[in-house]
């Protein structure tokens, strides 16, 4: 493709938009489980605005996102995560879909099995071989048969086909890593320039660690070469990594283990293995 144009991603802009949307979510509820940079589950049973129905919260949130962030958002409303997720995908890119408890089973029965969490191409092929094509077909199977065929996942498939999903909303999820990275305006070959780039990344990283009150034991260095091949090296320490000078020096040590015969395009550094233990709260869903 001689006329192919590469467009650089703008991760900082995406993160900023994500944070702005998260702030909008917080106006309505504290019970938020972020799933990715552009996806989250919300429990709005007891929402801050006192709105009676989940669909009203979804409409208001969509409106706020469009007005304040300039983006469209799809929302799914239902009584558990499985159905809220399916509903949010139903009318993208600017959709709002509700799966009411009284109508859920009829809706689920018509779904292809590939709509179920955990059913990828390999599992779908196996289900096809068992003549299980829709969730209605799946619901006809016994729990014994499904666990015999699919192991522990068989119980989930059995429940999903009946609209049952008891997974909790994980609210106080502990951040597992804080990282920062820089994509250079031109690829670097000089070692001193690369070291200067690492120094800049460390400064950004330390600022984020301080802002998020994050402390960890492991260090990961990511380096992307001019041919877009990406390499990483990690090391876990017996003490907390907080000092920027130590992070810089240990990053150089990891860098020395990489082949730098090609030019460097991107450098990233992450601190992981946090002190805190992940917590959960059992709570009953909007999905954006």
Kindly list the catalytic residues: 39
Q: Which long-range contacts (CB under 8 A, 24 or more apart) does 113-122 make?
A: 113/137, 113/138, 115/86, 116/82, 116/157, 116/160, 116/161, 117/82, 117/85, 117/156, 117/160, 118/153, 118/156, 118/157, 119/157
C-alpha span between 251 and 221 (Å, rounded): 6
Q: Which residue has the tokens 């059992």?
A: 282
Those residues whose C-beta lies under 8 Å from the C-beta of residue 137, and which sit 6 or more positions away, are: 113, 131
Alpha helices of 46-120 — where are they, by DSSP H? 54-69, 81-90, 104-109
Q: Locate tokens 């801050």: which residue?
A: 48
- Omega into 49 within 30° of 0, i.e. cis? no
Q: Which residue has the tokens 């690369």?
A: 194
């Amino acid at each position: 493709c001689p006329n192919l144009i590469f467009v650089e991603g703008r991760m900082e802009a995406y993160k900023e938009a994500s944070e702005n949307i998260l702030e909008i979510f917080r106006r309505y509820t504290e019970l938020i489980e972020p799933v990715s940079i552009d996806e989250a589950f919300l429990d709005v049973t007891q929402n801050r605005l006192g709105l009676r129905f989940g669909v009203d919260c979804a409409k208001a949130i969509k409106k706020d996102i469009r007005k304040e962030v300039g983006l469209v958002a799809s929302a799914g409303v239902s009584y558990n995560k499985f159905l809220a997720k399916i509903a949010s995908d139903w009318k993208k890119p600017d959709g709002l879909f509700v799966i009411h408890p009284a109508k859920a089973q009829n809706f689920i029965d018509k779904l292809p099995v590939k709509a179920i969490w955990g059913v990828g191409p390999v599992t779908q092929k196996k289900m096809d071989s068992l003549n299980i094509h829709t969730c209605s077909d799946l619901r006809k199977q016994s729990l014994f048969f499904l666990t015999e065929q699919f192991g522990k996942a068989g119980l989930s498939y059995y429940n999903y086909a009946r609209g049952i999903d008891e997974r909790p909303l994980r609210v106080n999820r502990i951040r597992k890593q804080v990282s920062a990275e820089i994509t250079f305006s031109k690829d670097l070959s000089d070692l001193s320039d690369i070291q200067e780039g690492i120094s800049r990344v460390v400064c950004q990283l330390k600022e984020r660690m301080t802002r998020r009150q994050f402390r960890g034991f492991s260090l990961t260095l990511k380096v992307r070469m001019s041919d877009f091949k990406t390499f990483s090296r990690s090391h876990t320490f017996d003490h907390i990594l907080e000092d920027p000078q130590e992070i810089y020096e240990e990053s150089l040590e990891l860098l020395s283990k990489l082949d730098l015969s090609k030019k460097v395009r991107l450098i990233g550094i992450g601190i992981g293995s946090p002190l805190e233990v992940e917590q959960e709260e059992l709570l009953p869903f909007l999905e954006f």
